[in-house]
A and B are shown apart, each in its own frame.
Chain A
Amino acid sequence: MTLNDLEPGESAIITTIDDSSNESNYLMELGVMEGTPVRFVKSAPFGDPIEVDLRGYHLSIRRSKAQSILVQKF
């Protein structure tokens, strides 16, 4: 499953980041990488972007990006 498929409040661990675009590299520098636990906080009023909680802070990314981040629930 991808980060997109999580429900608000659900936590998971990032398993793979599916592309190596500049944006993905930037996300990695922000700590979004394999093995990092994330919690899906909520989506914005219009459904996109989403808010996640990781490494003790909150980050917002678009659903199109979250689609390429594979996770495993725990």
Chain B
Amino acid sequence: MPVTSVIPKTNNIALVGNPNTGKTSVFNALTGLRQKVANYPGVTVEKKTGSFSVNSTTFTVYDLPGLYSLIPKSLDDKISTEIIYNHNNDVELSCIVVVVDAANLSRNLYLFTQILDLQIPVVMALNMIDVADKKGIKIDIEGFKKEFNIPVIPLIASKRSGLAELKNTISDLVTNPDISQQKYMPIPDEITKCIGDFRNFVKNGFCESEVSLTARSLRIISSDHVLQDWIDKIDNTKIDEAQQSLAKARKRLLESNQHWSMLETKLRYQWIDEVLKTYVHTSKTDKQSLSDRIDKILTHKVGGLFIFFIVFAMIFQAIFSWAELPMALIEDGTNWLGQMVTQLIPAGALQDMIVDGAIAGVGSILVFLPQILFLFFFLSILEDTGYMARVAFMLDRVMNSIGLSGRSVIPLLSSFACAVPGIMASRTIQNWRDRLVTIMISPFMSCSARLPVYVLLIGAFIPQGSFLGIVSYSALTLLAMYTLGIVAAILVALVFKKFIVRTMPSSSFVLELPAYHRPNLRYTFLQLLERVKIFVTDAGKIILAMSIVLWFMASYPKSDESDTSNSSQKIEQSYAGKIGKFIEPAIKPLGFDWKIGVGLLTSFAAREVMVSTLATIYNVEGADETSGSLKESLKNDRDPVTGELLYSPLTAISLMVFFVLACQCMATVAIVKRETNSWRWPITMIAYMTGLAYLASLLTFQIGSYLGIGV
């Protein structure tokens, strides 16, 4: 068959493969540190590229997100297929390296044969050949080469074995591309006859080789899902003709006893089964693999859940204790930087803006970076070993009851430390609807920034003593706040699923449980670096802007007398103070006065800013959540007119309820904007969470007052 496609003369290589094939190891081994991450325009999936050189020729490697088939299912899949097909005309590939897991050939060859049909030069990187060996799988590599007529390179990427050969092979193939002998899927003549007319129809306006054209036509015929995508892309005037031509092809197939549904898939697996029978010999081993033995323990009906709790309890313990030192260092660093700038820039508005606005504001968020990183570090390792898939497996049933799947467990758990890494971890959720709902409920998990507020208020207002002499009222209140967040998350998830995102495809759960393997620390650190970059650059910009706005509102207009000793009055006269006064009637039914109002505004920067705002208003030097003086000031503040105590335990509970539910965190807003790639969802989030918080606080305060509890 003549090959009509022109092979582009570029040095672009794509790395393609199923998830869990060690594709990223191959990428890292090929490119070392010569890699960078950028965003694909318009989407949130990262574009990972790197490079390597052979004999002073440089090759650019695109590491495409792992996928199982050229029929895209998730956003990640879509990105991969668009690059492979060069839909956007931006990356012309001169060679595709398909990473194939030697220990899991059958399913891996499915994608491989699809790629083969594209008639682009292909190299098979047969990875994890050592694992296959241990499993008693003997592969006739020469046989594979003959069968597909392409280079086949056995690899152990984690040990960098076979790497030089892979590089040389790619280089040779790109310099001297010859695909005239490259094999493609054999299609029985009778089927080719049935789809011939349709193929000619598809051909119009497409510049593709005969081979990829046949495969592509067959794919459209085989799946309504692909058909719809294709119809969406073709000219409106031709749709009727297309439908007719397709219907004819399907009818002819049925007439010759070939059911068209998933015909492509069936033919492929037929071919694969034959290839495997000829070239692969598996000797049965009765011995249970190490992976299976580990799995018996880790997913044990009782023990598995127990181990899961222990693992996460330890991770959380580590996050809080290990992060203490770097957090203190960041705080000191921020202060030091502020002082430096104070000395360098003359006093005035500019100095104030930089020191009190930008540096203090960004610093108050940056201080959470160590916790975020530690969390990422542990999650990334657990993911790498294959344990995360098991967590999703074990807890899918629980999540299913609120309409989500097991894949949402990790993002939600992470959010107890901080919603930012939680929301970023939601990327592993394939189903967009599930992912969106997970993102929207993540901030309800009581994060570490809420803790200072809880501690201050509980310390000041919750009476000593204990319930039934066992649990202190303080602990009980804290527990109630965490529970409230979880309950709110469940209810909101149900509402969202039912009313708001119901048009999107519904939740399903199909998950590969990969064999356990040792984590790759190098890879983990590279990933960590990536996350820091995203947090600091993308979210950082929004955080910086908001910090300056909040600072401006809290410090302008300046009061005439420059009496710095009375910061309470200064705040009262600022825009923030005025807004606080302005919204006082609205928040009065919640039990809040204008001072708390100001705190609610400024704590939008980060929740624990509430504490420092109140400290500023009460003019307490160096106050923190355990400081006695701030607690006393809050407790003893009296209404200037009536002389009554301003705040009661009920006020404190109402305020805590507000903090559990409200979206008081600009880092979260920034990251939601980034992850959903639109302002629609972060704005929805702020609106509904604030509304819910208001309503819940209102009910708490009014019902409490009516019943005379805590007044």
Contact = CB atoms under 8 A, between A and B. Distances in A.
Interface of A: 20, 22-23, 25-31, 33, 42, 44-49, 51, 55-62, 65
B250 to A, nearest CB: 14
Given A29-B265, A44-B299, 9 more contacts: A25-B261, A26-B510, A45-B305, A49-B397, A56-B105, A60-B389, A60-B510, A61-B509, A61-B511
Contacts of B508: 23, 62, 65
Interface in B385-411: 389, 393-398, 400, 406
Interface stretch (B7-15, B67-75, B196-204, B582-590): B67-75
A30 B397 contact: no
B81 interface: no
Contacts of B265: 25, 28-29, 33
A44 B393 contact: yes
Contacts of A27: 510
A27 to B, nearest CB: 6
A33 B263 CA distance: 11
Contact of A44 (B71, B105, B397, B514): B397
A57 B505 CA distance: 27
Nearest to A50: B393
B16 interface: no
B68 A30 contact: yes
Contacts, number: 102
B106 A59 contact: no
Nearest to B261: A20
A69 to B, nearest CB: 12
Contact of A30 (B107, B137, B505, B513): B107
Contacts of A44: 299, 393-394, 396-397
Interface in B293-308: 299-302, 304-305
A46 B398 contact: yes
Contact of B510 (A33, A45, A56, A61): A61
Given A60-B511, A61-B509, A29 B400 contact: no
B223 interface: yes
Contacts of A61: 509-511
A47 B137 CA distance: 33
Interface of B: 68-69, 71, 73, 103-107, 110, 135, 137, 223, 225, 261-262, 265-266, 269, 299-302, 304-305, 389, 393-398, 400, 406, 505, 508-515
A48 B104 contact: no
Given A25-B225, A45-B304, A51-B513, A31 B262 contact: no
Contacts of A49: 393, 396-397, 406, 509, 511
A4 to B, nearest CB: 14
A29 B397 contact: no
Contacts of A22: 225, 505
B396 A45 contact: no
A60 B107 contact: no
A8 to B, nearest CB: 11
Nearest to A36: B269
Given A29-B68, A33-B269, A45 B301 contact: yes
Contacts of A57: 104, 107, 512, 514
Contacts of B266: 28, 33
Contact of A56 (B71, B104, B389): B104
A11 to B, nearest CB: 13
Contact of B513 (A45, A46, A58, A65): A58
Contact of B103 (A29, A30, A56, A60): A56
A25 B71 CA distance: 10
Contacts of B511: 49, 59-61
Contacts of B515: 58
B390 to A, nearest CB: 9
Contacts of A58: 512-515
Nearest to A42: B299
Contacts of A33: 262, 265-266, 269
A7 B71 CA distance: 33
A25 B223 CA distance: 8
6 contacts: A22-B225, A29-B110, A57-B514, A58-B512, A60-B396, A61-B509
A56 to B, nearest CB: 5
A73 B162 CA distance: 42
B71 A60 contact: no
Contacts of B269: 31, 33
A28 B509 CA distance: 15
A38 to B, nearest CB: 13
A37 B118 CA distance: 30
B513 to A, nearest CB: 4
A55 B509 CA distance: 19
The 6 closest A-B pairs by CB, nearest first: A46-B397, A55-B106, A58-B513, A29-B69, A60-B511, A57-B104
Nearest to B226: A25
Nearest to A52: B513
